[in-house]
Structure 1
Amino acid sequence: MRTVAVWWTVPNLVTVVRLALVAPIVVLLVRGGPPLVAAALAAVFAATDWVDGFLARRLDQVSRLGERLDPVADRVGIGAIAVALAVAGAAPWWVLAVFPAVDVVVAGVYAVRGRGRRLAVARIGKVRTAAAMVGLFAVMAGLAPGLEPLLPVGQVTLAAGAALHVGAGAVYVRRMLRGPADPQRGPPRSGHCAKSPMRV
């Protein structure tokens, strides 16, 4: 699968839409808006994480911008929504510290030992993202009258996502510390950002 140089691709547009959804979700949570509306937008946010990768493969539009923009959208979205939930008193603050702390460590190791590498996405990283997004959705839905039992379920799932984030970070750090970077490693085989070096 080729990697296109242009940025105006359909998958990238979907990723931008995902980023654009973050602001209204945060505003709804912080201002006490309808939680089910926020949860519905969060569901769309989560779905686009799969849609952009599917379209990139289907349309053969894997791009370098997409490789970098997709994980940024995930990080910004999950982090901002988690902060909004914490401000609303619906999520524990310690979860907020885990995600950026791990990202800083991985980024630091990558800057020293990872340049030139293209690391395949670890299975634990995929499970982590799924757990975090499901947890966020369940917490938001649990704020709605009649759906309160979903709140603790979502909190536990979100905490599990944070724990998996630590595990995923450890996997990538270990890979980068194994040996020198391999500049001959080829481009991503598939996916919108399936082998983005900072996709953890």
Structure 2
Amino acid sequence: MPTDPTPDGRARQASGRPDWATIPNVVTLLRFLLLGPACWVIVDDPEGSWLPPVLVGVWAVTDWVDGLLARALNQQSRTGEILDPVADRIGIALVVVALGLADALRWEPVAVIVLVDLLVVLLAGRAAQEGRMRVTHVGKARTAVLFFGICAIVLGISVWPQVLDVGRVLVWVGAALHIYSATLYIRAARLGTGPAVRRPTDGEGQA
């Protein structure tokens, strides 16, 4: 959606609404707010309780809900475009750390996910903030695989242990995709080439 610069320097939607004031951004904010309770119930002996998988499941689903709402309501925004992947990265990093603390996940994939995220922030964060990059298909697949893996692990340590190993394998696959995705973003930021480079024809929106 087009934006009009206001005298105070803030971008406003053509309708007069501030760029950040959208329903999808409220959903993204909810994803942030769910992180604390979700991580707490993971670490706090979740065996036999449905609360951890429900909380983590709702947290994961909001990633698709905000994007769907942005498109359905025509409320794509530059704020959402920046906020959504930040919420994903922070959320995934904190939840896998919680799984590590709960002895539900080995620390190797946790370290890969967290360290790669830090590297992307350092080498590609500014380019992302300036809108010079876009989310890639690999990045979307990475996020989906990690979400499914995390949810399976939480379900496994809570009420359905049969899916625990499936979740751990998915997290390892997600960590591998995480590395590959990071190379695409860093390449786009540093060299200006590759599928993560934003083209002039790309529209704004939440990924």
Alpha-carbon distance in structure 1 between the residues aligned to 2:153 and 2:70: 31
Change (3 A) 1:157 1:52: same
- The offset of 1:36, in angstroms, is 2.6
- 5 Å-filtered alignment, 1:50-129, equals 50-110=64-124, 116-129=130-143
The alpha-carbon deviation at position 114 of structure 1 amounts to: 6.9
Structure 2 contact 34–59 (Cα < 8 Å) conserved: yes
> Structure 1 residue 7 and structure 2 residue 20: aligned?
yes
TM-score using structure 1 length? 0.83
Task: Give the number of equivalent residue pairs.
Answer: 189
Gaps of 5+ in 2: 4-12
Q: After alignment, is 17-26 or 132-141 more displaced?
A: 17-26
Query: Distance in 2 between the 1:28 and 1:73 partners?
Result: 19
CA contact (8 A) 2:82 2:128 kept: no
Name structure 1 gaps, 5 residues minimum: 195-200
Q: Larger relative contact order (C-alpha < 8 A, sep ≥ 6)?
A: 1
Alignment partner, residue 168 of structure 1: 181
Residue 86 of structure 1: how far off its partner (Å): 0.7
Aligned-partner SS, 1:106: helix
Q: TM-score, normalised by structure 2?
A: 0.81
- 1:140-169 per-residue CA deviation (whole Å, 9 max, x = no partner) reads 111134x21211110110111111100100
What is the deviation of 1:111?
5.8
Q: Check the 8 A contact 1:10/1:55 in 2, yes or no.
A: yes
Instruction: Give the match's secondary structure for 1:45.
Output: helix
1:69-123 Cα distance to aligned partner (Å, 9 max, x none): 2112111211111111111100111122112222222223226877755222111
Read off the aligned partner of 2:92 and give its amino acid letter: I
Task: Assess, with a 3 A threshold, how the Cα gap between structure 1 residues 45 and 115 changes in structure 2: closer, same or farther.
Answer: closer
